[in-house]
Amino acid sequence: MEKMKALVLKDVGKLVLEERPIPQVKDPDDVVLKIKAVGICGTDLKIVEGKHHYKLDTVLGHEFCGEVVDVGTHVHHIKIGDRVAVDNNIRCGFCDFCRMGLTSQCVDIKTSALGVMRDGGYAEYTIVPEKQCYVLPDEIDDVAGTQVETLATVVNGMNALKMLPYDYVHVIGFGPIGYLFAQFAKNIAAKVSVSEIDPFRLDLAHQCGLTAWNPHEVDLEEKVNEFTYGSKADIVIEATGNGFEEALKIVTPGGTILPFGMDSSITATIVPNQITRWATKIIGLYLGQNTMLPSVRIFRENTLDMSHFYTKVIPLEEGPSAYKDLGLDIDTLTRGPKSAMKIVMIP
C-alpha cells in the first residue's frame, strides 16, 4: 500500500511525523483529497497541550484545502480535479438542533470534527465527506483556501453583530480571529480599536494601521473612553476567551458583547444587575453556520486587508517546531511570546 507523510498526535506534547497508508474511499460519499495547504490553528496548540478534547493517533489539522483525487460512488457534486476548501465540522442533520437550524449545536459535532476527532489535514492526503467540500475559484490561492473555514466563523459573528457604519468597535485579542474581525470593522465601522498583550501581535496591529494598546501597560477602560469621546464601545468582540469582565467595562449602555474566544477553563465574576441596568446585549455563538460560501466570496473579491495575516509558509516537517512561533514550546509544553500570526504548511 502506498504511503504518505502525516503529523499525528501520539500523546499530549507529542506531534510526530509518521508514514501512513494513503487513505482510500470507504463510504460512498467519501472524497479523497491531496492536501494543497494546511493552517496551524490556536486550537491545534491547545489540543497538543491537552487543554482541548482530543483523540490519540489522529492526524491533526482542520484548516485545509486540497485537490480531489478520488470519489465514492454517491459523490455527484464534487469532481476529481476540483480544488476545494473544507468545513471540518460535520453536522449530523438529524438531531433536534440540526433540524431546528442550530447546526453548530449539533450533538455529533464534538465527536466528528475533522482534524480533532477524525484524521485531518496535517498530511499529504485525507478523506472528507462530500458535503463538507466547497469548490475554490482560481482567485483564491491554496494558502488563502486554508482560511475559508476560519473566516466562516468570523462571518457568523459578523452576521450576529449587524455592525453599523457609526459604531465604535473594540476587539480584545489580535490573534487570527481578532485580526479578521478588526479588518471587517475597519471596512464597516466608524472607529475600531484593539487590545493585545503579545508584543509581536500588538506591533502587527499597528502595522495594519489600527489603534491598539497593551492592556497590561495602559488603563484600557480609560483608553477606550477617550477614543470614543466618552461613550465607550458599541460593540466589543472578545477574541481571547478570558476578557469577558474587561468587555463589560468597556461596552457602552445598550451595546453588544460577542464572547468569541474559547477557553473552557476560564470563569468570570459578573454583576447581573449591571447587564440589566445598562441593557447590555451578550451574543453567544459557535463556529460558522452557512457561512462557507460567504467566506469564499469575501476572499475572492479580496476585500479584507490580509497583508499581515500570513507570517510564513513551511513544509509539513517543520510544523511541530513552528508551534514555538505561535507561543507553544512542544518539548516543554510551556507558553512564551509569539513571533507569528498565521503559519501555513505545505505537505
Q: Write out the three cell numbers for 152.
A: 466562516
CA distance 328 to 337: 8
Closest Cα partner for 231 from 168, 294, 154, 155?
168
**Nearer residue to Zn ion within complex by CB, 41 or 65:** 41
Asked if 102 is part of the footprint of Zn ion (rule: CB under 5 A), the reply reads no
Which of 92, 117, 188, 266 contacts Zn ion by CB under 5 A?
Answer: 92
Min. distance of Cβ 87 from Zn ion in angstroms? 11
Asked if 316 is part of the footprint of Zn ion (rule: CB under 5 A), the reply reads no
Which of 6, 32, 35, 41 contacts Zn ion by CB under 5 A?
Answer: 41
Min. distance of Cβ 91 from Zn ion in angstroms? 5
Binding mask 43-82 for Zn ion (x = CB under 5 A): x---------------------------------------
The DSSP bridge partners found for residue 315 are: 346
Q: Hey, what long-range contacts does 220-224 have (CB within 8 A, 24 or more apart)?
A: 220/195, 220/246, 220/249, 220/250, 221/249, 221/250, 223/193, 224/170, 224/193, 224/250
Closest Cα partner for 34 from 145, 191, 138?
145
Report the Cα 4 to chain-centroid distance in Å: 27
Min. distance of Cβ 42 from Zn ion in angstroms? 7
Min. distance of Cβ 151 from Zn ion in angstroms? 11
**Nearer residue to Zn ion within complex by CB, 7 or 22:** 7
CA distance 110 to 264: 14
Which H or E run includes 66?
Answer: strand 63-71
Asked if 98 is part of the footprint of Zn ion (rule: CB under 5 A), the reply reads yes
CA distance 110 to 105: 9
- By CB under 5 A, which span of 24-32, 34-42, 112-120, 206-214 interacts with Zn ion? 34-42
Which of 106, 192, 251, 345 contacts Zn ion by CB under 5 A?
Answer: 106
- By CB under 5 A, which span of 85-93, 154-162, 262-270, 276-284 interacts with Zn ion? 85-93
- The CA radius of gyration of the chain, in Å to the nearest whole number, is 20
Min. distance of Cβ 60 from Zn ion in angstroms? 11
Going by C-beta distance under 8 Å and a sequence separation of 6 or more, which residues neighbour residue 311?
A: 325, 339, 340, 341, 342, 343
Which of 95, 117, 266, 306 contacts Zn ion by CB under 5 A?
Answer: 95
Min. distance of Cβ 108 from Zn ion in angstroms? 5
**Nearer residue to Zn ion within complex by CB, 41 or 172:** 41
| Cβ–Cβ under 8 Å, residues 326 and 340 | yes
Asked if 251 is part of the footprint of Zn ion (rule: CB under 5 A), the reply reads no
**Nearer residue to Zn ion within complex by CB, 136 or 326:** 326
Q: Write out the three cell numbers for 147.
A: 482560511
Asked if 282 is part of the footprint of Zn ion (rule: CB under 5 A), the reply reads no
Min. distance of Cβ 107 from Zn ion in angstroms? 6
Residues that bind Zn ion (CB under 5 A): 41, 43, 92, 95, 98, 106
